[in-house]
Amino acid sequence: MWWWRKVRRAKNIPDQVRTELERFGETVIAMALANHTVGTYPLALNFLNNNWREAIDWLTERRDISARGRDRLETVEWALLILAIMGFVAIVPAIASEVAWLAVSFH
């Protein structure tokens, strides 16, 4: 849909680097980029020394994909809410006629 987040694809990441980024995962890469402490994530930091730009682009892409997923879920939630309201509005006349019939039969 037009209001969903546009995913900014990281096109300049080689396949081998993307595989390593996915192996470490979003959390480790983000923490390693934020901390710059060698003792915390030594393998990730050694990898990031040569690939920090690709890592940042990859994290941006992953965040956009996550945001788009949340946008899709919200769209489905709104659609279900609207359908439920429409169903309720459609059944109100039937309920009103039943209530009117019951009221007439008791008098």
Q: Domain ranges in the chain?
A: 15-105
Residue 26's Cβ-count burial label (10 Å; 0-12, 13-18, 19+) is middle
pLDDT band per the 50, 70, 90 thresholds, residue 24: confident
- Between CA 61 and CA 29 the distance in angstroms is 13
Q: What is the pTM of this model?
A: 0.60
Residue 20's Cβ-count burial label (10 Å; 0-12, 13-18, 19+) is buried
Q: Scanning the structure block, which residue is given the tokens 């509005």?
A: 89
Q: What is the pLDDT of residue 105?
A: 65
- Between CA 22 and CA 101 the distance in angstroms is 65
pLDDT tens across 57-102, in order? 888 888 888 888 888 999 999 999 999 999 999 998 888 887 776 6
